[in-house]
Amino acid sequence: MNRKSFFLLVGCLAAAFGARADEGMWLPSLIGRQVEDMKAKGFRLTAEDIYSVNQASLKDAVVLFGRGCTGELVSPRGLLLTNHHCGYDQIQSHSSLQHDYLTDGFWALAPEEELPNPGLTVSFLVRMEDVTAKVLEGVREGMDEARRATRIEANIRRVKEQTMKAYKGRKGYEVSVESLYYGNQYVLFLFRTYSDVRLVGAPPSAIGKFGGDTDNWMWPRHTGDFSVFRIYADADNQPADYSPENVPYRSQRYFTVSTGGVDAGDFTFVYGCPGSTREYVTSDHVARVMATNPNRIRMRTERLDIINAAMAADPAVRIKYASKAANIANAWKKWQGESLGLERLGTLGKKRAYEARFAQWAAGNPEYAGVLERLQRAYEAGEEAACAADYYREGIFAIELVGFAGAVSNGLAAGKIPPFAAFYKDYVPEIDRKVAYALVNEFAEHVPAEFVPEGFAGGLARAGGVEGYVDEIFDRSVLVDSARFAAVAALPYREAEALLAADPAVQLYGMFADAFMQRIRPVSEAADRTLAREYRTYMRGQMAFEPERNFYPDANLTLRVAYGSVEGYAPEDGVYHLPFTTLEGIIAKDNPEIYDYDVPEALHRCYAQKDYGRWAVNAGTEAEPRYTVPVAFLATNHTTGGNSGSPVLNGDGELVGINFDRTWLSTMSDLDFDPAMCRNIAVDIRYVLFVIEKIGGAGYLIDEMTLR
């Protein structure tokens, strides 16, 4: 393909943004091409209101929270809302048996009570720019993939350096260049990052995590999934490391909060940072997902069974492992819903039918003929290695001791012993040992010999099996015990280095890391190089095959707009789910015997006294009123991981909810969006305000906000 035809294709790509969309995650800089459709559905603002580089716009009220969530500003003093599960690590890190913020909640009733969180950052998008021509300068069709990658990397470095020259000496600016459409387009994103982010408030987990893993990904949902943070800056409003001298960030833009709620059919849009989707992959990719998900699910089930039993037996363990269990469970349940959704939607068959039509069209076009066959061969070549890799990642490397041993090994390679206090703070060796029994057994049973580290089988035989093998490592390793490790770390470095390098846990990590690098990575990287090349061609081919189709870019944790409406859905024959839940549903689920359903007394009291204040709504009729508090709602916005914490906005750009989940069958939308089935779940902003005021006693935070 010559450069002229390539850039013609990019122009066609841009034109595709102007087509009507029932799904999609749209770049804010190109949202103008969608505004006509958005207005037809109820949007009442302009493209400039959503994204502008010349004046404050809605983008300036949205942040990438941490490295995998979204947050939104709701006051001129840097007050930020996100999900409870997005702030969970921070809430857990501040919790103890004496101050159990997970169970009891936390509310800073004065600025000095707001809690700092080392390592937590938020990033604002400053601007984005198409840099495809600059990144692909010197790239020629047919170029060797390694040379191509080297050229692109050099071009990206140059683009970044040129961009950052304009911000030399200015704090917090970062730039990234992201590939879209499998390397057919490149976009530069300029961010400004703030690193002093303090915890202001969090409801009890029985509100913020109500329903726990049982309700995760499910509907109806009654989770008050929110937490409150504040961004701090120096006196000049510039990014600064934590200091008591820092002051609340002066927000360039923040959201007005709507107290009017939403009705069925109302327009909504989500403005956030979706993490990863693969909408344009082949049936071979879908088949691999459906084949490997059960393995990953099984290994996580074993981990969760062990951890959950330990948490149920000991409150101290519950605090230590709450965040770990939540992180394990999230993907575990997502994979289950994804597999079920793909099967019910018939995605594999749909993809194959589409590919048959594409192949017939491509047969007369040399550029695209045979691309599907080449993709299939690449998947086949990497199949066994990909399966084995899951047993490394979800098996051996998921053992906490092995993960810490990896940190120690990497530290020694850099000539230092890594910090270890954070690891031991939430580590229970007895739990990890039981997990290791299960996961080492999984590896031993399922990984083909060609991908097994040399010496592993012999070690099992000498130890008399898996349990003996694991016991030998755990009994001998100094990494298991904080005091023993600290004693070694206190020795002169060379002496400590020798002891740690010879430690059985470090040796085990090294054995598996080496095997992964030598036996799996070369196979998977070769397959990935082929996949990257052929998907680049296949993506161009799909655009040429269907020039009128909406080809929005796959998610990659960059800022996007998704829009739709408030709607219920029918998950199965004869069943229809309304798009709203209320406080009555929380009370109906109340069960003091189950941690995740133990409704706090304060919420019980509000319900009994009907003390809803200004957040009450009439769920009955005018003649027979029935007052309650709205809790959550469904909408058709296309979301994925990373959208957690995203603002859900009405047609006027006002905050009506905080996105926190999808329905279970919607999880397949990362691969195949079904408008009849896919729904995002948001906590109603009125429930957030109700909890802040009535449960947290922190109404002063609401006084900071602009309500309408």
DSSP letters, 504-568, are HHHHHHHHHHHHIIIIIHHHHHHHHHHHHHHHHHHHHHHHHH-TTS--PPPP-SS-EEEEEEB--
Token pair 């997005």 in the structure block, residue: 86
Q: Is 85 a catalytic residue?
A: yes
Q: Is 409 a catalytic residue?
A: no
Q: Which two tokens stand for residue 7?
A: 């850039």
Under a CB-based contact definition with an 8 Å cutoff, are residues 535 and 284 in contact?
no
Q: Positive or negative CA dihedral for 148, 154, 156, 158?
A: negative
Query: What are the Cα distances from residue 272, in Å, to 50, 54, 393, 545, 559?
Result: 12, 21, 29, 31, 5
Under a CB-based contact definition with an 8 Å cutoff, are residues 136 and 10 in contact?
no
| β-pair type (617-618, 627-628) | antiparallel
End-to-end CA distance of the chain: 54
Under a CB-based contact definition with an 8 Å cutoff, are residues 567 and 634 in contact?
yes
Give which of 76, 175, 65, 178 is closest to 127, Cα–Cα. Answer: 175
Give which of 128, 145, 88 is closest to 530, Cα–Cα. Answer: 145
Query: What are the Cα distances from residue 572, in Å, to 213, 214, 324, 633?
Result: 22, 19, 33, 19
Please state whether the peptide bond connecting residue 220 to the residue before it is cis, i.e. omega within 30 degrees of 0.
yes
Phi then psi dihedrals of residue 127, to 5 deg: -165, 165
**Radius of gyration from C-alpha coordinates of the chain:** 26
DSSP 218: -
Cα distance between residue 18 and residue 8, in whole Å: 16
Query: What are the Cα distances from residue 2, in Å, to 56, 368, 561?
Result: 40, 15, 33
Count the Cβ atoms, other than its own, within 10 Å of residue 375. 23
Phi then psi dihedrals of residue 130, to 5 deg: -70, 120
Distance of CA 573 to the CA centre of its chain: 32
Cα distance between residue 551 and residue 309, in whole Å: 46
Under a CB-based contact definition with an 8 Å cutoff, are residues 271 and 58 in contact?
yes
415-424: long-range contacts (C-beta < 8 A, 24 or more apart)? 417/489, 417/493, 417/496, 417/497, 417/500, 420/482, 420/485, 420/486, 420/489, 424/482, 424/485
Q: Which two tokens stand for residue 398?
A: 């998921």
Q: Which two tokens stand for residue 644?
A: 């957690």
Give which of 706, 645, 680, 684 is closest to 271, Cα–Cα. Answer: 645
Q: Which two tokens stand for residue 628?
A: 């309650």
DSSP 283: H
**Strand, coil or helix: what is 41?**
helix
Query: 630: which residues sit within 8 A by CB, 6+ positions away?
Result: 261, 580, 581, 582, 617, 684, 686, 687
Please tell me which residue in 195, 644, 646, 666 is annotated as part of the active site: 644
Count the Cβ atoms, other than its own, within 10 Å of residue 292. 18
Q: CA torsion, points 333, 336, 341, 346, in degrees to nearest 10?
A: 160
459-479 core/surface letters (b: 16 or more CB in 10 A; e: else): bbeeeeebeebbebbbeebbb
Please tell me which residue in 225, 284, 503, 670 is annotated as part of the active site: 225
Cα distance between residue 643 and residue 649, in whole Å: 13
Residues labelled catalytic:
85, 225, 644
